């Protein structure tokens, strides 16, 4: 490979070397078959061009195939992608997923927050009573002393756990008026009883 005047001017610039490696890789992979494990390099040894970044250890698997063993919070073919989950930020049994420039914690049912650090409130505290998936495919509406589930067209029941058998979108297969009325009455009764209890305590 020829070293041009531009290469000499920028040979210490990391960004320039990465771009050069990327374009060299594109140029060489159009001429030779590509593997799914790592890119091809035209040198006599796959690790001769030092393809691994951030202290990654290069291992030649064949003459033109390499593998980088990444260290610390780095991952990817060249160990050039920061692993946001490296320090296990998710608490209380949450599982960490890398997303663009960040991480996302998939929390267990009883926890929420960026790192699954907050436990859902106790229903006796009069706070939010809705928990993930409590209404299955429905929408949970938190009340002062409980919650009720607003079900989609094809579901019914206290937790939207029952499916309408002959439901077709656009048909009249919704919850019956009596079912909705009963659900609403139950929710309002709970609200009124709590308001009466609060008034008795104030007196």
In the chain, where the domains are located: 38-82, 84-112, 123-192
Question: Please, which pLDDT band fits residue 91 given cuts at 50, 70 and 90?
Answer: very high
Please write the tens of the pLDDT for every residue from 102-147.
888 888 877 777 888 877 655 455 567 788 788 888 888 777 777 7
Mean pLDDT across the chain: 69
Number of residues assigned to the chain: 203
Residue whose tokens read 């320090």:
87
27 contacts 41 by C-beta, under 8 angstroms:
no
What fold does the segment set 38-82 form as a domain? Laminin (2.10.25)
**Whole-number Å distance between alpha carbons of 62 and 57:** 16
Q: What pLDDT shows up at residue 174?
A: 47
CA distances from 161 to 51, 117, 155 (A): 54, 29, 7
96 contacts 85 by C-beta, under 8 angstroms:
yes
Q: Do domains 38-82 and 123-192 have the same CATH topology?
A: yes
Output the pTM of the full model.
Answer: 0.35
Q: What pLDDT shows up at residue 68?
A: 92
Q: What pLDDT shows up at residue 45?
A: 77
Which CATH code is given to the segment(s) 123-192? 2.10.25
């Amino acid at each position: 490979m020829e070293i041009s005047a531009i290469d000499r001017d920028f040979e210490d610039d990391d960004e320039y070397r990465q771009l050069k490696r990327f374009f060299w890789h594109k140029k060489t992979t159009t001429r030779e078959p590509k593997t799914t494990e790592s890119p091809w390099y035209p040198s006599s040894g796959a690790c001769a061009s030092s393809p691994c970044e951030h202290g990654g250890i290069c291992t030649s698997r064949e003459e033109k195939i390499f593998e980088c063993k990444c260290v610390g919070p780095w991952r990817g073919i060249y160990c050039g992608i920061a692993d946001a989950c490296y320090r296990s930020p998710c608490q209380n049994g949450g599982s960490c997923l890398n997303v663009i420039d960040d991480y996302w914690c998939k929390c267990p049912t009883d926890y929420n927050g960026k790192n699954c650090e907050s436990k859902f409130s106790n229903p006796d505290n009069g706070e939010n009573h809705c928990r993930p998936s409590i209404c299955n495919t429905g929408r949970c509406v938190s009340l002062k002393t409980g919650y009720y589930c607003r079900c989609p067209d094809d579901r019914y029941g206290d937790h939207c756990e029952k499916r309408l058998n002959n439901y077709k979108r656009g048909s009249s297969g919704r919850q019956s008026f009596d079912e909705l009325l009963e659900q609403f009455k139950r929710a309002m009764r709970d609200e009124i009883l709590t308001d009466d209890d609060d008034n008795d305590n104030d007196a």
